[in-house]
Structure 1
Amino acid sequence: MGSNYNLTLQWNQDYYDKLLPSVFLQGAIFLFGFIGNIIVLMVYFFRMKANRDDRYFIPILAVFDLVAGTVASVFYVLESIYFVDFPSTGLCKGLLFAMTSTSSLSALLLIAIAVQRYLKICKPLGDQMDEAKRKICLAAIVIFSIVNSCPVLLFSGNKYIGGEFNGFNVTGWTCFTGSGKYPNYEAIYYYIIFFLMVANILTVAFLYIPIGIQLYRHIKLKDLRRPSMDIASTQFESISESKPSDGSTGEIIRKKTMHASKINFNSMFLTIIIFYLVSYTPTCVFLIISKLNHELWYNISTTEMIIYFILQRFYVINHVVNPLIYGYYDLKFRKDLVSLFRCS
């Protein structure tokens, strides 16, 4: 018994050595996302206290991303350290449940954001998402995410695996989404999860196609108007050299700034959605691959394993990149971020 367990420990150490680069990468991603989302929350709570309609979901998304990114990083680091010797089936179930539910929260909230942007840009005269509707939507997202993830507590757990190491037959325990106790129900549930992930991606994409078209038309129209605007601007500047400026000058500048800010705001949400689509697609693919071939990870080279693991976990990027997007597109966020850390 002791010699068999020693072989398992050596087998596990071998996998840990192979997966060490992915551990460092996951740690770096976690640190970047944790700091970024904390900064977003600090800016919104200390500088943007007034809940603007357009920004209502941003601090909530930051909380969801913070929790989802933390849980996923903890699980993936533990999985890499204890790849074939996972210490506890209870810990496995708890982490997989938390990871599934928090990722679902973030993904579903992006649908809510897409709906809000669609109504604002494509149906500006129709019904909009007021505060009451947003709260109902948020409650529905939380309830659905928890209920939808509950079967993970039943199906997941430590799974017995066997292999060969240094010419010896070895056995171990790995944390897996399907422990094999209810294979038929597990298959049905995880195919439903895959379908929901694809449906989520397609829903967000289809909502943002007309938004993107509207933005494109708006930018093209702006480009067509620019020559006449430049002529008018030149005339205005020559007049202003001979006449004192009045209050209308400040009003023109203010309107142009607000206009540019709105374009940036729409582009910001479009970029968030694009990153969501790109980051979740590999995860969907590898969810199916891992279900079709449970032994895949134990029969490939070290390089292939690292590449596959990075692609399988690529969705975590979605929880990390949003603070950078806010900083790039949201002019007020950028200004308040600077003022938050500026010495008074």
Structure 2
Amino acid sequence: MADAETLSEEYSKQLLPNTIVQLIAATFGILGNCLVILMYTKYVKDKMGSRYFIPVLAVVDLVGSVSNATQFHLDNTMRYIYPDVFLCKMMSFLIVFTGGFSAHLILAIALQRYLIICRPFGQQMTQKLCRIAVLIIFLISVGYASPILKFNGIYKLRSLNTTGNYNISFCHIDDGTDSFNVMIPYLGFLLFLSLINIFITFIFYVPVTKTIYDRLSPARRNRAKNVPDGKIVSKETQMSDDGKNITKPKLQANDESMVNGSPEQKARKNISVMFLVIIIVYIVSYLTSLVTQIHSFASTEERKGYIRNIYFFCLRFNLLNHIANPYIYWFYDLKFRNELRRICCRSFRR
């Protein structure tokens, strides 16, 4: 096993920059998601139900950060002497499961924002429907991640060099049996399902983005500001005594709530923008990993040095989807930020 260990050590040294970046990113992801779970379950009150999916997504992202970082670290440092087949199966299962769960939750969030912003007086996602949606997403994600437990495993090879025979073993999606013929259609199905999920998410959020832009556009604000004496002039048609229709000006209070909306409407718009950023991060991170994965199947080119580090950084870029969300919440959700500031100030005073 000395030769296999030496091979793993050389591989680990080549990917040291990649390993350091992933460990730092995973640390931020774990701490951030733990903070989000604490804040949204204990301190941030959600009376409107618009933040229902946030703590659920944080739990999924926490598990995803731990499983992705663990698997990537083992793959970097123990590439050819992977320690345990159960660990290989479980980490790979959790990567597929959390990736799918997170993607489908973001789709549910897009549907929720579409109903709130574009159809505010129609049927909304109640707390009961949100719970049912989470349960369905959980079962679906477990269902299509389960084949990993069967077909993922330790792939063993016996190599021959000038010093003799030695065994190498690494965690792979095919354990050397006939499962390879099964996994190709399976990976194709996962790819198709992911692209459909991205497409439907995009379809839901396009009208949401357009509605938010129309409501916050500078032209609409300028029209309201140009009305003299704080009045908005509109027209109404009335009938005179002789039976003719006449048009008279109608004055309405130029309240700030009519220009920018009520505080509840402002909060909904801000939360919708926040979820839009989350969706953009999810699509960019996933597509980067997906394109790199497809290229790895199509190309047999051997990568070394900084090219290998860049390649693996792009291949594992989906980790960004699990670590970025807490910091997006901090930037956009004023209630989250104010509660966090209040707790920190109170602790500092004590």
Determine if contact 2:153/2:174 at 8 Å carries over to the other structure: yes
The partner residue of 1:307 within 291, 305, 310 is 310
Identity of aligned residues (%): 30
| 2:15 alignment partner, SS class | helix
8 Å CA contact 1:194, 1:287 repeated in 2 = no
Q: Is residue 42 of structure 2 the alignment partner of residue 38 of structure 1?
A: no
| 1:46 positional shift | 2.6
Of residues 317, 322, 341, the one that matches 1:319 is 322
Q: Does 1:333 pair with 2:339?
A: no
Rounded Cα–Cα distance in structure 1 between residues aligned with 2:229 and 2:59: 44
Q: Which amino acid aligns with 1:56?
A: Y
Equivalent residue of 2:170, what SS?
Answer: strand
Deviation, 1:62, is: 0.9
Does residue 1:6 correspond to 2:12, yes or no?
Answer: no
Query: 2:24, 2:164 → 1: CA distance?
Result: 36
Query: What is the identity, as a one-letter code, of the residue corresponding to 1:278?
Result: V
Superposed CA deviations along residues 1-57 of structure 1, whole A, max 9, x for unmatched, are xxxx21111111100101111111111011101111111122112312445311111
For 1:175, what is the secondary structure of its paired residue? strand
Contact 2:260 2:266 in 1 (8 A): no
Separation in structure 1 between the aligned mates of residue 172 and residue 304 of structure 2, nearest angstrom: 20
| Alignment map for 1:1-344 (pairs within 5 Å) | 5-161=1-157, 172-181=168-177, 182-220=179-217, 222-226=218-222, 228-229=224-225, 257-292=263-298, 299-343=302-346
Query: What residue identity is the alignment partner of 1:311?
Result: C
Does the 8 A contact of 2:25 with 2:323 survive in 1?
A: yes
Cα 1:135–1:268, aligned 2, differ >3 Å: closer, same or farther? same
Residues 38-96 of structure 1: per-residue CA shift (max 9 Å, x gap): 11122112312445311111111111111111111111111111112111222111111
Mean Cα deviation higher: 251-260 or 16-25 = 251-260
Say if 2:156 and 2:176, in contact at 8 Å, map to a contact too: no
Q: Is the 8 A contact 1:47 1:340 kept in 2?
A: no
* Runs of at least 5 residues in structure 2 that lack an aligned partner in the other structure: 232-253
Aligned-partner SS, 1:342: helix
Measured against aligned partners, the alpha-carbon deviations of 1:90-138 in whole angstroms (never above 9, x if no partner) come to 2111111122112211111101101111112222232211112111111
CA drift of 1:180 comes to 3.5
CA shift at 1:332, angstroms? 1.1
Higher strand share: 2
- Alignment-derived partner of residue 238 in structure 1: none
Q: Give the distance between the partners of 1:22 and 1:90, measured in 2 at CA.
A: 25
Task: Sort the Cα spacing of 1:172 and 1:81 in 2 relative to 1 into closer, same or farther, 3 A.
Answer: same
Q: TM-score, normalised by structure 1?
A: 0.85
Q: Report the Cα offset of residue 306 of structure 1.
A: 0.7
What value does the CA root-mean-square deviation take over the aligned residues?
Answer: 2.8
Q: Which has the larger helix fraction?
A: 1
Per-residue deviation, 1:260: 3.5
Q: Which deviates further from its counterpart, 165-174 or 148-157?
A: 165-174
Q: 1:166 to 1:301 in 2, by over 3 A?
A: farther
